Amino acid sequence: MTEQGGAQPRVQWVRVEEGDQGQRIDNYLLRCLKGVPRSHIYRMLRKGEVRVNKGRVDADYRLREGDSVRLPPVRVARPRASPGPPSSVLERLQEAIVFEDTRVLALNKPAGLAVHGGSGIEHGVIEALRLLRPKEQGLELVHRLDRDTSGCLLLAKRRSALRVLHQLFRDGGVDKLYLALLAGRWSRDKADVNLALRKSTLRSGQRVVRPDEGGKPALTRFRVLRLFGQATLVEARLETGRTHQIRVHAASLGTPILGDEKYGDPEANRWARNLGLRRLFLHARSLALTWPREDRPLRIEAPLNSGLEEFLKAL
């Protein structure tokens, strides 16, 4: 699988067990091919070196029990010792825990922290939490948030919980609410944006998401919470979970999110910066779900941090 020294790497075929059903193939490979950089994992998937049931798959393919996965021959250098994330980051994450039981752990993720390492980031939230919780062998991300987005981030503590949560997310069984501050003042109370989205890569190498009829279906429901002179605070309910969905859908209405350097309005962003906004104003406010065969729903909330609260007061 992954070998060092003089041993010759070789192709291996592994069978997916029940405990790995529902896991994305990229995350599965990162666990099986320890030490292989995330960028190399994705390159192997794009080139078709990884096969499932002898066929090519995309990085978001969900494994099924009994799948036969081809692991290509990979030679990796002996990993160098890593100093680990700064103690200040570990302390922030410990303080950011907003809910925990025997199945899940939820954070109010700070803006600026990636959820996982890769692309020049040695340690993300998941790597740091595994250092904080060395006895939690099954700790895994259930979903993702953009690096610049704060708020509710859910992690599973057991493989059985991860499978159930992945299914709930896929089937629309999780109510996801966000807060976003948009440039401009709305004259309506709500808006539903039903625009398919497609990811693409610019010549510069930058990845962007654009509305495209041939893309993946995406639906966001916006509702006005408060009007300011030059901005509108909205609640955004995600009916789907596409990359940059709220950001692109808000921009498509002509009212992009303040602080959005990729899809936003430069002039509006300068105005907001002069008033003290130093980040993207997008926050995952809450998650709500009901476990199978249980009647009482689980609702997890993450309050706005003081910086965003102060900015609203400044308006």
Active site residue 146: yes
Q: What angle do CA 224, 144, 141 make, to 5 degrees?
A: 135
Q: How far apart are CA 226 and CA 77, in angstroms?
A: 54
Q: Looking at this protein, which amino acid is placed at residue 91?
A: E
Exactly one of 67, 146, 148, 265 is catalytic; which is it? 146
234-239-243-246 Cα dihedral, nearest 10 degrees = -10
Q: Which of 304, 182, 191, 284 is nearest to 241 (CA)?
A: 284
Q: What 8-state DSSP symbol labels residue 115? A: S
User: In terms of C-beta distances under 8 Å and separation of at least 24 residues, what long-range contacts does 103-106 make, across chains too?
Assistant: 103/156, 103/157, 103/158, 103/161, 103/291, 104/142, 104/154, 104/155, 104/156, 104/157, 104/161, 104/165, 105/129, 105/139, 105/154, 105/155, 105/157, 106/152, 106/153, 106/154, 106/155, 106/287, 106/300, 106/302
Whole-number Cα distances in Å, 153 to 125, 166, 198, 230? 10, 14, 24, 30
Percent helix, strand, coil in the chain, to 5, is: 25, 30, 45
Strand ranges of the sheet holding 12-15, from the earlier edge strand across to the other edge: 12-15, 68-71, 51-52
Q: Are 259 and 277 in contact (CB under 8 A)?
A: yes
Q: 127: number of CA atoms within 13 Å, CB side? A: 18
Catalytic residues, by residue number, are 146
